[in-house]
Structure 1
Amino acid sequence: MTDTHQRATDALSIQLYSLRAELGEHRAQTLERLAGLGLARVEPYDILSDPAQLAHELTSAGLVAPTAHVKLLDAPLDDAMSAARTVGVETLIVPWAEPALFQDRAGVASLAERLNAATGRAADAGMRVGYHNHEFEFSARIDGTSAWEVLVDLLDERVVLQLDTYWASVGGADVFELLPRLSSRITAVHVNDEKPEADDPPTLGVPVVGRMPEVTALARDIGALVVVEVVVDGDSWPAIERNTQFFAEALS
């Protein structure tokens, strides 16, 4: 592996939900196979079930998990931080909040309050809290502004942002404007180079499909971790392998 390729894969991760079926009975082997693709980082979506075993399997595969999706709005924060400490997770990212919260300022404020409280406690433990968007945070409007922007304004600046670039664009965002403007707060981006599903909603913002090299370059420029998430029917490995190679080359 060349030094350039190694630097590229150091900036690349994969959301393990992409391989959720394979992880059920063959997690250790799946992690080994991901490491065989040159990956050094992964993003778990469940660190609470068996953190000690997950930590062991990650170490055995030579992988680390600097970020993880954790349902902090549903799980006790102390349990989540304990699991994160065991697995080696530094940033706990809330993957979902109820869309109804984004219908008015009061709902967004209540979410921000909970995230801010969690981030204060996590900071005391040397960890960070983050938030991962879908499309509805951007498509919902509050006084003419996207609910996502309202949320960002209300969040403690220590709450980091994981920008799902496709869903942000579907919801109405201009990812090419957001990434540089919020470069100090966006610490990770979710990407894939797959064609949209037939039942995906229409894109209301600036499309990112077909422009992933540009998105990746912007993410690299701001120092964000590039996290691949591929959700396909059937065998996921061909898409995982292709996307890993695509984004490693884009980061080179």
Structure 2
Amino acid sequence: MPYPIAYQLYSSRNFPPLAAQLPVLKSMGYEAIEPWLPAYEADPALFRRQLDDAGLACYGFHMPLAGLVDEPNRFIDVGLTLGATVMIPPYVTVEEREPTPGYWRGLGEKLARGAAAGKPHGLKVAWHNHDFEYYALPDGTRPIDHIFATGGSDVLFEIDCGWITRAGADPAAELRRYADRIIAIQLKDTAPLGTKEDDGWTATGDGIIDWQALAPLFGQTKAHHIVAEHDNPSDWRRFAQRSIDYMRRIGL
């Protein structure tokens, strides 16, 4: 059965107004929006009404890690307002990162505390990866493994296959390794390394990732939905349309 497909609204942040994009995305076949801060920050209730008016859902939303740690109740309220079920911290800055297992284990513990806070409200927590979690630390271990080892089973995973590929890791291996933890799969595609156009990202199916080889692994995970994302498209409509058309064409 095909997966619900969400669109990460960060992809078209440079083409306001965002509200005008929603009915267009719905017409393309997207079923949900995955928003990022600040898309919903000014007025979460208004953003929810705009989603409802367009006939779109919100399964999960990106939010700052600091928000989960310091303002969990605020973001729980945001999640409930948006109708989401997953709170997704996606990033720590270069300045924050430390090349030690202890730092990454500490990050996993923060996520676990956030998951515990959200659980009574029906909200889950998932980490979203970039490339840096896959670069080995001086002792040879990987940040991603420390995050999940200390996060425990309640810390889930929105896996971004494009960033894994950029880091020189194997998306197939990571889909297998964390199958029981994966709640969403981002089908971000990348052009060959060194490509300058659109920062080297492409629509899903236009890059170097073999999605037809990966697709059979999706069903072995606990993924609820899949997500289209592009960090800097010059034409967001072309990216959005080509991506969803390709996903459906290969049976996702």
TM-score, with normalisation over the residues of structure 1? 0.86
Relative to 1, partners in 2 of residues 1:155 and 1:172: Cα closer, same or farther, differing over 3 Å? farther
Unaligned runs of 5+ in 2: 201-206
Q: Contact 1:166–1:209 (CA<8 Å) still a contact in 2?
A: no
The answer to whether residue 72 in structure 2 is matched with residue 81 in structure 1 is no
Distance 1:29 1:98, change over 3 A: closer
Q: Is the 8 A contact 1:164 1:190 kept in 2?
A: yes
* 2:195 corresponds to: 198
SS in 1 for 2:66: coil
Give the match for residue 116 of structure 1.
Answer: 112
Instruction: Tell me the distance in 2 between the aligned counterparts of 1:76 and 1:251.
Output: 40
Root-mean-square deviation (CA, aligned residues, Å) is: 2.2
Aligned to 1:211: 210
For residues 130-209 of structure 1, the aligned pairs below 5 Å read 130-141=126-137, 143-196=139-192, 198=195, 209=208
For the 8 Å contact 2:11–2:233, the answer to whether it is kept is no
1:35 aligns with 2:34: no
Corresponding residue of 2:203 = none
Q: Equivalent residues in 2 for 1:231-242 (5 A)?
A: 231-242=231-242
User: Residue 223 of structure 1: CA displacement?
Assistant: 4.2
The superposition leaves residues 55-104 of structure 1 with CA deviations (integer Å, 9 ceiling, x where unpaired) of 10111111101111111324611111111101101100001023453510
Equivalent residue for 1:45?
A: 36
* Deviation of the 1:142 alpha carbon: 5.2
CA contact (8 A) 1:52 1:87 kept: yes
More helix by share: 1
Distance in 1 (CA, whole Å) between partners of 2:143 and 2:240 is: 32
Q: CA deviation at 1:105?
A: 1.5
Q: Is the 8 A contact 2:61 2:86 kept in 1?
A: yes
- Alpha-carbon distance change, 217 to 13 in structure 1, aligned in 2, over 3 angstroms: farther
Superposition deviation, residue 34 in structure 1: 0.4
Q: Give, in whole Å, the separation in 1 of the partners of 2:173 and 2:65.
A: 29
**8 Å CA contact 1:134, 1:168 repeated in 2:** yes
Alignment equivalent of 2:49, drawn from 52, 56, 75 = 56
- What percent identity do the matched residue pairs reach? 24
How far apart, in 1, do the equivalents of 2:222 and 2:109 lie? 27
* 5+ long unaligned stretches in structure 1: 1-6, 202-207
Distance in 2 separating the partners of 1:193 and 1:108: 26
Alpha-carbon separation, structure 2, partners of 1:220 and 1:12: 15
Cα 1:209–1:223 change in 2 (3 A) is farther
Aligned residues: 237
Runs of 4+ in 1 over 6 A off after TM superposition: none
Q: Distance in 1 between matches of 2:111 and 2:171?
A: 23
Q: Decide which of 85, 88, 113 is 1:90's aligned counterpart.
A: 85
Partner Cα distance (2:91, 2:42) in 1: 19
1:247 corresponds to = 247
